[in-house]
Structure 1
Amino acid sequence: MNDGERLNPEAVKTAGRQGPVKQSVAFNLLKRFRLHADAVLLFITDHAVPFTNNLGERAVRTPKVKQKVSGCFRTFTGADNFCVIRSCLDTLRKQGHGMLEVLLRAFKGNPIQLAA
């Protein structure tokens, strides 16, 4: 048994109580690390896997902020269009294109095609 498990033991069920026993946050984290150890440390062996999920979090942030500011999207089509446009702009930015150039070309009818 390692130090983490020794310092954060599993809570035991008391007599007369029904249902699962509430565990500590530390115990649950240790348990999750044990169950998913291969996925948690995958970035060490596979350099294509990022250390953090920051890019994914940032991609979700803009539509969520827009939704919070406006209260909601008026239509599903409007929300869908917003997400498609943001996704394309975000992808082109990650590919090194300047946003002003991308938007100017799009409005002139000569959009930059996304690289595969």
Structure 2
Amino acid sequence: MKIDFIDVDSAISHAKQLLETERDISPALKSALEVILLLVTVLLNRVTLNSKNSSKPPASDPNRKKGNRKKSDKPSGGQKSHVGTTLQKIDDPDEIEIITIDRRTLPKGRYTADGFETR
């Protein structure tokens, strides 16, 4: 993999090869460097994941290329022959449902009855 024109895989493999050939390094330092190289490899693999090479859905992939959509020439709304209907408010409803509210759960303040909402 390349990051900013740097071949990271070859740099890590070169560092591992130098660790193998070096004889004057203490075993503790050698194992610490191997762990650091392993962590760098794991983190780079995680960073380079995207929706194409993982099970991540495209919508949650922040680095995905988003397509440019053109605005349509068609008018918005329904078809011309379709007759739309909406519910009209009425003055005298057949049924009134009273919803009781526990005033102890409301924030402190003065509340007054406001009447009914018709639908």
User: Do these two structures clear the TM 0.5 threshold for a shared fold by scoring above it?
Assistant: no
Scaled to the shorter chain, the TM-score interval is under 0.3
The structure number with the bigger radius of gyration is 2
More helix by share: 1
TM-score where L is the length of structure 2: 0.22
